[in-house]
């Protein structure tokens, strides 16, 4: 098995953050050229099959930093890939992808995560073919890169689980063989679509729970913050110290000055936890793309209020809620292209995400332009399940409330997106954990709007 570590004595001492430091180090493992020879391809394939055994005793802090920054890199990658898909002739996103995967590869090489090092090296080789103009962007290439992203995300999730005290010591196998072979064929100019694996490596909808172990605290207690705001906060602390060190000539003036400075510091520290909604919206573009492809429906995502600030401690919960609602909108709400055409609607469906603050509430809206909720169908299904007595009359709001019952679904069959009755009840329960709520507004033939409200954090 591959050990993820070299002893600390073998590593250069540096204050640079992990992936940046990793990228500056020439790894001892797998220093391959941009494109493979046959022998190198076989050697790389061997490494992809070797399970990774993490050494959390020596590398826990470095692995935690690697995971945090790598997730940021993968968000940049997804955004760049989707931009490339929208405008294949604009090759600028390729440079973003190349730099991101190169940084990822540097970190993996430094930590001796050889299968990940090999996979990202493959991706660099594919991107080099694009950079030199020997291959144009097409759907199979986009699918292939996103499938690799999913493998990397799944790998990070397994590392984070062990850092959080779950499954410590278990070997991690990277599912990269088929991707490696597909990339080699793509580099060779093969257009055989069968060589490109179906990117069905879905990220889990349910996050791995955190434990209270010492290892878990490395991730759970750490969040990225704005460097400029942190500098401002540190500057305010310095001024407070200077005020306290001065000989007090006027006690009231001293207390007044300290009060103002402490209030300023409190405000600055609070804003360290804020993040623009656009950061959350950006991740939803991938959700829409994948859900639309699975449903066989063209759908575009529109966003409003990306500048709205939210507490980053709620970002994860809100992201999971939005993901559920978007999938629900695409699967249940938006009609098939044929149906939309017959109804005189644009063939491409639309999902709108909106963020706004209202008084002491942060509000998110997820709206689709689909068929709307059939209250008749919901009520019939509730009667079939014994939730409501036959011939019961319910107001529209009460019927909508049925949709939040655990296990309730109006789907006639189970699909890749829904039908198991897991979704809206999870959304509500997750929102309630952070003091939030959700309501539904729907109009037959015009679409459905879900409104999420979360209390703004008090400063």
Task: Indicate the pairing of strand 361-368 with strand 349-358.
Answer: antiparallel
pLDDT band at 372 (very low <50, low <70, confident <90, very high): very high
Here the tokens at position 336 are 């098939």
Q: How many CB atoms lie within 10 A of CB 205?
A: 12
The pLDDT tens digits of the residues spanning 60-83 come to: 888 998 998 898 889 889 999 999
234 Cβ neighbours under 8 A, 6+ residues apart: none
Size of the chain in residues = 459
| CA dist 173 → 40, 54, 103, 449 (Å) | 21, 11, 21, 42
The pLDDT tens digits of the residues spanning 326-370 come to: 999 999 899 999 999 999 999 999 999 999 998 889 999 999 999
Mean of per-residue pLDDT scores for the chain: 78
Q: Are residues 158 and 77 in the same domain?
A: yes
Q: Are residues 237 and 203 in the same domain?
A: no
* pLDDT for 411: 65
Q: Are residues 149 and 241 in the same domain?
A: no
Here the tokens at position 54 are 């993490």
Residue 373's nearest CA partner among 411, 324, 344, 422 is: 411
Q: Are residues 265 and 334 in the same domain?
A: no
Strand (E) or helix (H) holding 220: helix 214-220
Q: Are residues 239 and 139 in the same domain?
A: no
| Euclidean distance between the first and the last CA atom of the chain, given in angstroms as a whole number | 49
Total structural domains in the chain?
Answer: 3
Q: Are residues 237 and 279 in the same domain?
A: no
Burial of residue 390 (CB within 10 Å: 0-12, 13-18, 19+) is exposed
Question: CB–CB of 164/109 below 8 Å?
Answer: no
Task: Look up the CATH number of the domain holding residue 360.
Answer: 3.30.565.10
pLDDT band at 132 (very low <50, low <70, confident <90, very high): confident
Q: Are residues 65 and 213 in the same domain?
A: yes
Task: Look up the CATH number of the domain holding residue 10.
Answer: 1.20.120.160
Q: Which of 178, 196, 218 is the last residue of a domain?
A: 218
* DSSP character string of 170-202: --B----HHHHHHHHHHHTT---GGGSPP---P
* pLDDT for 227: 62
Position 25 pLDDT exceeds 60:
no
Compute the C-alpha angle 159/102/62, nearest 5°: 35
> CA 230, 99, 19, 67: dihedral to nearest 10 degrees?
90
Position 45 pLDDT exceeds 60:
no
Q: Which of 195, 218, 241 is the last residue of a domain?
A: 218
The pLDDT tens digits of the residues spanning 275-306 come to: 889 989 988 998 999 899 999 999 999 999 99
Q: Are residues 356 and 420 in the same domain?
A: yes
Burial of residue 6 (CB within 10 Å: 0-12, 13-18, 19+) is middle
Q: Which residue has the tokens 């090092």?
A: 117
> Which residues partner with 355 through β-bridges?
364
Position 449 pLDDT exceeds 50:
yes
Q: Are residues 261 and 195 in the same domain?
A: no
Strand (E) or helix (H) holding 375: helix 375-384
Question: CB–CB of 230/248 below 8 Å?
Answer: no
Q: Are residues 104 and 11 in the same domain?
A: yes
331: helix, strand or coil:
helix
C-alpha–C-alpha distance, residues 300 and 292, integer Å: 9
Q: At what angle do helices 312-328 and 277-295 cross, to 10 degrees?
A: 20
Q: Are residues 103 and 178 in the same domain?
A: yes
What integer is the mean pLDDT of 407-416? Answer: 62
How far is residue 186 CA from its own chain's centroid? 27
Question: What radius of gyration do the chain's Cα atoms show?
Answer: 25
The pLDDT tens digits of the residues spanning 222-251 come to: 556 666 766 777 778 878 877 777 766 777
* pLDDT for 412: 59
How far is residue 160 CA from its own chain's centroid? 14
DSSP structure class, residue 330: I
Domain around 252: 227-272
Q: Are residues 247 and 325 in the same domain?
A: no
């Amino acid at each position: 098995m591959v050990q993820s570590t070299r002893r600390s004595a073998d590593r250069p001492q540096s204050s640079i953050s992990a992936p940046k430091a990793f990228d500056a180090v020439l790894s001892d493992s797998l220093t391959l050229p941009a494109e493979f020879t046959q022998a190198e391809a076989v050697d790389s394939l061997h490494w992809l099959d070797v399970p990774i055994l993490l050494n959390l005793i020596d590398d826990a802090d470095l692995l935690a930093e690697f995971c945090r920054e790598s997730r940021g890199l993968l968000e940049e990658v997804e955004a760049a890939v989707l931009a490339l898909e929208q405008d294949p002739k604009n090759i600028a996103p390729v440079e973003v992808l190349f730099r991101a995967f190169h940084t990822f590869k540097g970190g993996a090489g430094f930590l001796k995560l050889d299968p990940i090092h090999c996979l990202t090296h493959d991706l660099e080789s594919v991107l080099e073919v694009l950079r030199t103009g020997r291959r144009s962007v097409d759907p199979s290439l986009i699918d292939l890169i996103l499938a690799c992203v999913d493998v990397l995300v799944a790998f990070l999730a397994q590392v984070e689980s062990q850092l959080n005290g779950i499954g410590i010591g278990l070997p991690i196998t990277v599912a990269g063989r088929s991707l490696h072979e597909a990339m080699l064929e793509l580099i060779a100019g093969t257009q055989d679509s069968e060589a490109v694996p179906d990117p069905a490596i879905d990220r889990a909808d349910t996050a791995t729970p955190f434990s209270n172990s010492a290892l878990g605290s490395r991730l759970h207690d750490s969040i990225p913050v704005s460097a400029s705001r942190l500098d401002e906060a540190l500057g305010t602390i310095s001024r407070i110290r200077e005020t306290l060190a001065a000989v007090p000539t006027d006690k009231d003036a001293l207390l007044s000055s300290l009060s103002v400075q402490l209030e300023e510091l409190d405000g600055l520290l609070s804003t360290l936890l804020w993040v623009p909604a656009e950061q959350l919206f950006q991740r939803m573009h991938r959700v829409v793309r994948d859900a639309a492809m699975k449903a066989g429906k063209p759908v575009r995502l529109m966003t409003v209020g990306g500048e709205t600030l939210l507490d980053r401690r709620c970002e994860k919960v809100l992201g999971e809620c939005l993901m559920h609602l978007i999938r629900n909108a695409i699967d249940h709400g938006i009609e098939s292209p044929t149906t939309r055409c017959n109804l005189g609607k644009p063939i491409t469906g639309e999902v709108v995400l909106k963020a706004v603050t209202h008084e002491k509430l942060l509000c998110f809206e997820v709206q689709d332009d689909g068929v709307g909720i059939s209250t008749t169908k919901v009520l019939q299904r509730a009667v079939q399940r014994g939730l409501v007595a036959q011939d019961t009359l319910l107001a529209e709001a009460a019927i909508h409330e049925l949709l939040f019952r655990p296990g309730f679904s109006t789907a006639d069959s189970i699909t890749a997106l829904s039908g198991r009755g897991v979704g809206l009840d999870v959304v509500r329960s997750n929102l309630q954990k952070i003091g939030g709520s959700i309501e539904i507004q729907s109009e037959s033939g015009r679409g459905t709007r879900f409104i999420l409200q979360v209390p703004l954090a008090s400063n």
